[in-house]
Amino acid sequence: MRQSKEPKEGDFITIKSYKHDGSLHRTWRDTMVLKTSENALIGCNDHTLVTEADGRRWVTREPALVYFHKHYWFNIITMIRDNGISYYCNLASPAVLDREALKYIDYDLDVKVFPSGEKKLLDVDEYQLHGAQWHYSTEIDRILKHNVLTLVDWIEHKKGPFSQEYVDIWYSRYLELSRQEQ
């Protein structure tokens, strides 16, 4: 996750997701960086402007911790809502951070985890459609299926972003940094 001028805690970065064909999929402006390390980046989106590929714009509704790792083919969004914690996990290429943004390729499949703990695999039809359209290799298919299993294991064992301790630590840090910004 290293770059020439690594963002520091409290800095803001842009996140860009692309599709396999190289087209821009979605952009998040002003994600606050909470932690960077050699392998990972943790940030927070809170009322963050999101721009879709078709130009449509919207603003995130609640605080969401974001977790990107340079070795895993997924990223994790922890949505902190009044009715509990929800997770949205994108199956995606490992993130790369450059001067412009943190970037990754979105591979359509998503795992949603509800506050009750129920898990749901989403967008299988989109994955199959794009896989045929853009010729996802058998290697990418194998990697993504393996990473779904890793992700489900993390969810079931409340590992990393799925632990209450992680949410408490990083959301508290976000609130602390936000107060300093004002």
Return d(Cα 35, Cα 158) in angstroms, integer: 20
**Is 26 part of the annotated catalytic residue set?**
yes
Q: Is 47 left (phi over 0), alpha (psi -120 to 50) or beta?
A: left
**Strand pairing of 102-113 and 12-18?**
parallel
Catalytic residue among 2, 26, 56, 99: 26
**Closest of 149, 108, 143, 105 to residue 125, by C-alpha:** 108
Taking a C-beta distance cutoff of 8 angstroms, is the pair 101, 15 a contact? yes
Contacts with 82 (C-beta within 8 Å, 6 or more apart), sequence order: none
Taking a C-beta distance cutoff of 8 angstroms, is the pair 6, 27 a contact? no
* Catalytic residue numbers, as ranges: 26
